[in-house]
Every structure is written in C-alpha cells, then in structure tokens.
Structure 1
Amino acid sequence: MRTFAALAVLVAVAGCSVQVSGTAQPSGNGFVVKDGTQLRFRPVLQELTPSPPAGAAADRQSADPAAQQAAAAALDCAQGRPDPLAGRDDPALPLVSCDRAKGTKYVLGPAFLSGADVGWVDARLDPQTGRAVIGIRFTAAGTRTWAGWTGGNVGKQVAMVLQSRVLTAPQIQSAITGGETQISGQFTLPEARQLAHDIAGG
C-alpha cells in the first residue's frame, strides 16, 4: 500500500508541447488510460485529519457544508472496507471521500477533468533530483483545461479520484501549461509505479 512521508506536489515539465495527441506509447513504467470514465480531478475544498467513523451515515454528495462535515465524520476510511459509493459518484456534485492508504478525509468540489482528458501516466526517476516522480500527459483538450485551472489555483490541492476514492491530492506549485505534469513527493519508484498504475485505472 502507498504511504507518502510528505505532501505531494504538482509541477510543470519544461519543454513539453502544448499539443498532445494522447497516442504516445508509454515507457516500461507507463500506462495508457483505457477507461476515462472512472478517473476524476476534483478541487480539494477541505482536508481533514484521519479519524474513526462517528455518527450516522450521511449524504456524501451534498452541497451543504454542515452535511459535508457530518458525512466526513461518519465516513469509514479503513483499508479493505468496501465503499458503497464506489464508481457511482456524480461528477457534477461535491464529494466527501478519503485516501484509504493514509486515512485522510477530504471534502472535494465538482470534477473539472476526467480520465478521458489524460493520454498516459508513467513513473520515472527525475534526472535532476534522483527522486521518483509520476508524469501525467494530457490530451490537447485536457491541456487547455488543466492550464486554466492550475493557473487560477496555485497553492491549492487537487484530488485525483478513482471510483470515488482519493488516490493522491497534490498541491499546485504553478500554472501548468505545457501538457505534462509531474507529481513529486517522498515515495520510492515502486510506490510511484503503483500510483501511476492506479491513476491510469488499475
């Protein structure tokens, strides 16, 4: 299971073309997104520390802040526990979810990108730092949406959500306009490879 020592961050990859076809072949540590319907990019509205579930189950897609807090309190983020909402969340509504590897709970906004906007995902070592990173390459349409969203949300977090669960929620370091993004953090190459695999849909 993934465990990261520090908050992951998103950075632009220098020298990448804005026009990305989505047909590039992945490397040995790369994965093509085959089904883009389950992966969603959602803004993080609130990050909550891990806590045991408390209270009755509540609506995890309510727009009411009080209902969101109640849903977060009641949400059970234990690993291996099935999610009754898995794959059935409405992308147009907010979502209360969690990262089951860390137990962190999140209140997320409506989705603004999907896996259909991603060409491929890979894991590799950054030649400048020697650290493992995940690269995400967007389609041409995804590049435009991503550039606009990251430009307006520097310093904020974005959650990559697969079947209603948060895979990672890195922080935006700058506007990302070149069509490819790197997620960097304190993880090993095998952990980065697993995350890339999960982002691509498993």
Structure 2
Amino acid sequence: MGGVRILLLAAVAVLATGCQAEVAGQAESTGFLVKDGTQLRFRPVLAELPPGPPTGSAADRQSTDPATQQAAARALDCAPGQPDPLAGRDDPALPLVSCDRVQGTKYILGPGFLSGADVSRVDAAVDPQNGGALVNLSFTAAGARTWAEWTGQNVGKQVAMVLRGRVLTAPSVQSAITGGETQITGKFTLPEARQLARDIAGG
C-alpha cells in the first residue's frame, strides 16, 4: 500500500454514517465496529527502515534508547507468518519497534497516543471523486479532540495504526484534521481497503 496518505474531505461525514450508494456496481461503503479497543494503537512513526532480512541478535523492542531501537529494528524478522512474541503484549506507554508483515517495512514508533477505544467506526468505500478506494475512520468525541491536536502538530509526518503489535498502515498526515472524521487514501483496491478497514476494527 505504497503512497498511503491521510486526507480529510467534506464527504467523509456522509460516508461514515453508513449511507450507501452504488458506484460501478459496488456498494460505496462497508462498515466495521471496533471489536476490542485495547488492541489497536495509534503511534507516531519516528523512523522507517526498508525491508530486509534480520541481522544481529534480538534486542529490546521497547527501549527508549535510539541505538537499541535501531539494533532491534535490524534484528526484527518481518517475514509473513513469522510469530511475534510481543503480539498484544506491547506497552503503549513505551516506544515500539515493529513492522508491516505484508510489505516487510520496519518501523521505530513512539508511545501510543490514541487507542481503538477512541474509534467508533471504520468504513471501506469507493471514492466518488476518482473511483479509487479509501478507508474512513470515525472518532469518538474525546478521540476527535486528541486526533485534531496531534494532527495539527504533526502535518507531514507519519502515524502508524498498530494492531497487537503489528503495523497495519502508516500514512502521512496531509493537514490538521478537526472534524473527527478521517480518510486514508492510497494505491489500493476496494477489496484491499475493506481488508484494511476490517483489520483496523480488529479482524
């Protein structure tokens, strides 16, 4: 899902309410409720490393030391299907070294600042502007306030959505998002958008 970005559009509120329209024979919106808010975390991306085989010995993946974080990223095995001993057990108050096990990209992430409890609904939809696919996120009132503050201070930076220690997506913030509704757009198909929405909601 290269080139993924976050963008707020006026149409998001309509799409996130569950209203449906037909576009090229497809239902425009498919919605999911977050199943377990304790398993989803929003973490700032501190560094991104390209895919590659693990090198070096295992290191502390939740260290606050930058050198240890780099060593942990190099040692992390991001092969698909590889079990993660930290899955569901990472401390959200500490940094985390993780990866996207589909793309193999490795990430050094900051402490979590939002959780799945701050998300009320996730939708996959067809973008009526260009026929592409997107994912809509609706935040609770408290989540919307935190999200607006964080995005306003971090325009141009990446945010990782992490489920049970695994990075699902790490889009860039294009602007401050103050309406409590967010779109994730990128180069993915509608089935891929639906899968991402399902994953964000907890599977």
Matched residues, percent identical?
A: 72
Aligned match of 2:10: 14
Residue equivalent to 1:115: 116
Instruction: Give the aligned partner of residue 194 of structure 1.
Output: 195
Change (3 A) 1:16 1:78: closer
Offset from partner CA, 1:36-62 (integer Å, 9 cap, x none)? 000000000000001100111100000
Structure 1 gap segments, 5+ residues each: none
Code of the residue aligned with 1:126 in structure 2: it is D
Structure 2 counterpart of 1:51: 52
1:16/1:179 contact within 8 Å kept: no
Measure how far apart 1:12 and its partner are: 1.1
Alignment CA distance shift 1:194-1:15 (3 Å): closer
AA aligned to 2:86 is: L
Q: TM-score, normalised by structure 1?
A: 0.92
- Normalised by the length of structure 2, the TM-score is 0.91
Matched residue type, 2:144: T
Matching residue of 2:86:
85
Inter-CA distance 101–15: structure 2 relative to 1 (3 Å threshold): closer
CA deviation digits over 1:146-196, x for unaligned, max 9? 000000000000000000010000000000000110000000000000000
Residue matched to 1:64: 65
d(CA) in 1 for partners of 2:201 and 2:19?
Answer: 11
| Alpha-carbon separation, structure 2, partners of 1:143 and 1:116 | 12
- 1:56-87 deviation per Cα after TM superposition (whole angstroms, max 9, x unaligned): 11000000000001100100000001001000
**2:136 aligned partner, one-letter code:** G
Structure 2, unmatched stretches of 5+, are 21-28
Q: How far off is 1:29 after superposition?
A: 1.4
TM-superposed CA distance for 1:14, in Å, is 1.6
Following the alignment from structure 1 to structure 2, what is the Cα–Cα distance between the partners of residues 13 and 145?
19
Cα distance, 1:129 vs. partner? 1.4
Which structure has more relative contact order (CA 8 Å, sep 6+)? It is 1
Q: CA deviation at 1:13?
A: 2.8
Residue in structure 2 matched with residue 179 of structure 1 by the alignment: 180
The residue matched to 1:29 in structure 2 has which SS?
Answer: strand
